[in-house]
């Protein structure tokens, strides 16, 4: 026994496998960025006058065409608000049964659960503007198409998050109600609902906040709201009207954020 | 026989809440009446939908269309990659500036103002402005999505930095480490997992939006999509939609893997 042979220990955070996986991802990122930079099609001629164009843009925007607000913007703004709100409500109505269908503790049948998940994923994969294109083709231009596209786009979001909230519900109250012989509707109303109510409101408010933003652009493809006014102003190159509309959208979005954070602190 | 006082109801009626529900119902009817939504219109829509889906099938996969869609999709992908990369690079300093525990009050306030402006406009609206500033093409889309990335990532990154565990930072600093050593040894390991999660999420979001900015001239698949739509080539529209959905679903599977590597 020499006593001097202390084992040399190396402390490492990652296993070799983790190191390799990370390195591969870093390299792939670099390759993706380099490939994109080298092949992307940018027209340099347009860039020479970009500063002048930008200055010109703001010069034409200011002063805003305030007279345009009572003429066309106000009613369009109200319509946008209705589209976002009704779309959110419709989305919640459609998503509630689906989220029960997707919750593992409520639905035993894996086929039904898979079907609900499939609906959520397809709803979320398609952008709200694309949904708007489809619904404009179906219902014609106007607010109805906007409401439908907001609703269909939101089903996946609301359903997925609410389904996860349902899965986290405690089993105790549910079993207690079942033991009293309560019908299934009562188990829903008095067993599940009180447990998931905070999650429900926070999801609904979050989506409403997002939908106010999204409904502002739906009009660009004809689905009603303030986007229609924006599209008209853009096509006519009335930049002072465009500036006014952008300022109005900014104000509404900030106001919505204040309202939702106030409601969230009151309800939750 | 004495009657005991009635026990309180186990499920008392909450009148303010009930009124709120009634008010909501009234609002829905009022809003529906102002929006010119009628049952007749909805029913007519259903027959219209049948025609539309009839014209969508089968999806158009003629060689020239496939080529058009491939170039468009590749451009959308490039827009997503570049806007995420540069957006994240810009978000790092902005996020640090907006973190209240690291930067002075005036700087945090200013950074939060910039973030609020970036966040409040939809990427499609921002890309309209950039199309005017730098002309039609992918650059306008990239710049618009960089703005969107900065709005989202720097806000959440600031929150991550604010939750930083100060003890680890102090411990490393006590050994006499330089500023960059502190950053790499004490700060990075704490924020890396969340940061990768944010990046992956934002890339996903940018990928979805890069298919849209083309509608207003920002490059990518949006332009061929909107053209096909306006020309009523619904079979081409369907092909493009299927390709977009396939790409997004594919990336959703990849992103779960990436997150696991960095946990």
CB within 8 Å: A139 and B48: yes
Q: Is the pLDDT of residue A88 over 90?
A: yes
CB within 8 Å: B81 and A126: no
Name the average pLDDT for chain B: 84
* Low-confidence winner among A135-144, A151-160, B41-50, B237-246 (lowest mean pLDDT): B41-50
Closest Cα to residue B96, out of B47, B153, B53, B46? B153
Asked whether residue B123 is domain-assigned, the answer is yes
Residue of A20, A21, A27, A46 to mutate when probing chain B, most B C-beta within 10 A: A46
Q: Report the gap between the CA of B262 and the closest CA in chain A (Å).
A: 7
Q: Is the pLDDT of residue B96 over 50?
A: yes
Q: Is the pLDDT of residue A5 over 60?
A: no
Kindly give the interhelix angle for A110-125 and B234-261, rounded to the nearest 10 degrees.
110
Closest Cα to residue A132, out of A162, A106, A154, A105? A154
The answer to whether residues B118 and B151 touch, using CB atoms and an 8 Å cutoff, is yes
Asked whether residue B113 is domain-assigned, the answer is yes
CB within 8 Å: A137 and B48: yes
3-class DSSP assignment, residue A126: coil
Distance, in Å, from the CA atom of A182 to the CA atom of A174, rounded to the nearest integer, reads 10
pLDDT mean over A240-258: 88
Confidence class for position A92, pLDDT limits 50, 70, 90: very high
Name the average pLDDT for chain A: 85
Asked whether residue B181 is domain-assigned, the answer is yes
- Percent of chain A scored above 70 by pLDDT? 96
CB within 8 Å: B81 and A36: yes
User: CATH number of the domain that B147 lies in?
Assistant: 1.10.3720.10
Task: State residue A182's pLDDT score.
Answer: 85
Confidence class for position B1, pLDDT limits 50, 70, 90: low
Q: Report the gap between the CA of A202 and the closest CA in chain B (Å).
A: 16
Distance, in Å, from the CA atom of B25 to the CA atom of A207, rounded to the nearest integer, reads 19
Asked whether residue B215 is domain-assigned, the answer is yes
Q: Tell me the chain B residues in contact with residue A78 when contact means C-beta distances shorter than 8 Å.
A: 34
Determine phi and psi for A236, rounding to 5 degrees: -85, -5
CB pairs under 8 A between A and B: 159
CA angle A245, A249, A250 (to 5 degrees): 115
pLDDT mean over B50-69: 80
Long-range CB pairs of B240-245 (<8 Å, 24+ gap) are B240/B69, B240/B72, B241/A126, B241/A130, B242/B59, B243/B69, B243/B73, B244/A125, B244/A126, B244/A130, B244/B73, B244/B211, B245/A122, B245/A125, B245/A126
Of A41, A86, A230, the CB nearest to B28: A86
Burial of A54 (0-12, 13-18, 19+ CB in 10 A): middle
Q: How far is CA A105 from CA A163, A225, B55, B217, in A?
A: 10, 40, 41, 47
ipTM comes to 0.78
Instruction: Nearest chain A residue to B204 by CA: give it.
Output: A125
Number of domains in chain B: 1
Q: Tell me the chain A residues in contact with residue B70 when contact means C-beta distances shorter than 8 Å.
A: none
Q: Is the pLDDT of residue A197 over 60?
A: yes
Residue B225 CB coordination number (10 Å): 27
CB within 8 Å: B122 and A213: yes
Distance, in Å, from the CA atom of B83 to the CA atom of A215, rounded to the nearest integer, reads 24
CB within 8 Å: A40 and B82: yes
Q: Is the pLDDT of residue B204 over 50?
A: yes
Q: Is the pLDDT of residue A1 over 80?
A: no
Question: Tell me: the pLDDT tens digits for A27-66?
Answer: 888 888 888 888 777 777 767 777 777 787 788 777 877 7
Task: State residue B219's pLDDT score.
Answer: 83
pLDDT mean over B31-48: 78
Task: State residue A89's pLDDT score.
Answer: 93
Q: Tell me the chain B residues in contact with residue A29 when contact means C-beta distances shorter than 8 Å.
A: 85
Question: Tell me: the pLDDT tens digits for A215-241?
Answer: 988 888 888 888 888 888 888 888 888
Distance, in Å, from the CA atom of A240 to the CA atom of B127, rounded to the nearest integer, reads 18
A92: left (phi over 0), alpha (psi -120 to 50) or beta: alpha
Asked whether residue B50 is domain-assigned, the answer is no
Could you tell me the residue range of the domain that residue B233 belongs to? Answer: 62-261
CB within 8 Å: A47 and B139: yes
Confidence class for position A4, pLDDT limits 50, 70, 90: low
Task: State residue A207's pLDDT score.
Answer: 92
Question: Tell me: the pLDDT tens digits for B103-150?
Answer: 788 888 899 889 988 888 888 889 888 888 888 888 889 999 999 999
Which 8-state DSSP code applies to residue A222?
T
The answer to whether residues A128 and A149 touch, using CB atoms and an 8 Å cutoff, is yes
CA angle A201, A90, A199 (to 5 degrees): 15
CB within 8 Å: B137 and A216: no
Q: What is the pTM of this model?
A: 0.81
pLDDT mean over B215-239: 86
* Low-confidence winner among B72-81, B183-192, B238-247 (lowest mean pLDDT): B183-192
Distance, in Å, from the CA atom of B1 to the CA atom of B245, rounded to the nearest integer, reads 74
Asked whether residue B18 is domain-assigned, the answer is no
Q: Tell me the chain A residues in contact with residue B48 when contact means C-beta distances shorter than 8 Å.
A: 137-140
Query: Length of chain A in residues, anyone?
Result: 268
Q: Is the preceding peptide bond at B58 cis, omega within 30 degrees of 0?
A: yes
């Amino acid at each position: 026994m020499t006593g001097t042979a202390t084992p040399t220990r190396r402390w490492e955070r990652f296993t070799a496998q983790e190191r390799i996986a990370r390195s591969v991802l870093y390299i792939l990122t670099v390759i993706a960025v380099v490939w994109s930079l080298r092949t992307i099609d940018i027209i340099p001629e347009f860039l020479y006058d970009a500063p002048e164009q930008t200055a010109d843009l703001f010069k034409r925007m200011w002063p805003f065409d305030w007279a345009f607000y009572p003429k066309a913007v106000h009613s369009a703004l109200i319509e946008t608000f209705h589209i976002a709100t009704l779309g959110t409500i419709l989305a919640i109505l459609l998503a509630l049964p689906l989220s029960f269908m997707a919750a593992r503790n409520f639905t035993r049948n894996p086929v039904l659960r898979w079907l609900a998940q499939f609906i959520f994923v397809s709803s979320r994969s398609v952008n709200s503007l694309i949904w708007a294109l489809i619904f404009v083709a179906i219902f014609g231009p106007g607010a109805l198409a906007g409401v439908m596209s907001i609703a269909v786009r939101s089903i996946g979001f609301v359903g997925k998050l609410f389904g996860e909230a349902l899965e986290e519900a405690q089993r105790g109250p549910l079993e207690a109600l079942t033991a009293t012989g309560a019908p299934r509707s009562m188990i829903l109303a008095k067993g599940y609902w009180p447990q998931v109510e905070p999650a429900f409101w926070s999801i609904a408010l979050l989506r409403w906040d997002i939908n106010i933003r999204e409904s502002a652009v739906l009009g660009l493809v004809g689905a009603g709201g303030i986007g229609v006014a924006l599209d008209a102003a853009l096509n006519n190159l009335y930049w002072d009207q465009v500036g006014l509309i952008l300022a109005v959208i900014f104000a509404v979005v900030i106001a919505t954020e204040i309202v939702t954070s106030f409601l969230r602190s009151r309800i939750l | 026989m004495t009657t005991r006082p009635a026990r309180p109801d186990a499920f008392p009626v909450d009148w303010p809440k009930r009124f709120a529900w009634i008010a909501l119902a009234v609002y829905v009817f009022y809003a529906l009446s102002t929006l010119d939504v009628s049952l007749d219109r909805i029913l007519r829509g259903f027959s219209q939908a049948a025609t539309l889906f009839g014209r969508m099938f089968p999806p158009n996969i003629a060689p020239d269309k496939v080529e058009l869609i491939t170039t468009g999709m590749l451009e959308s992908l490039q827009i997503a990659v570049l806007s995420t990369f540069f957006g994240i690079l810009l978000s790092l300093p902005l996020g640090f500036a907006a973190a209240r525990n690291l930067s002075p009050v005036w700087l945090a306030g200013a950074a939060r103002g910039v973030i609020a402006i970036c966040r409040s406009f939809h990427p499609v609206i921002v890309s309209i402005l950039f199309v005017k500033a730098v002309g039609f093409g992918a650059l306008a889309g990239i710049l618009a999505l960089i703005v969107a990335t900065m709005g989202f990532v720097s806000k959440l990154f600031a929150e991550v930095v604010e939750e930083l565990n100060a003890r680890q930072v102090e411990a490393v600093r006590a050994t006499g480490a330089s500023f960059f050593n502190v950053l790499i040894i004490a700060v990075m390991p704490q924020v890396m997992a969340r940061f990768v999660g944010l990046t992956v999420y934002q890339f996903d979001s940018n990928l979805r939006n890069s298919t849209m900015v083309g509608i207003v001239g920002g490059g990518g698949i949006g332009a061929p999509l909107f053209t096909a739509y306006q020309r009523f080539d619904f079979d081409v529209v369907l092909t493009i939609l299927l390709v977009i959905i396939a790409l997004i679903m594919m990336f959703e599977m990849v992103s779960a893997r990436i997150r696991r590597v960095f946990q």
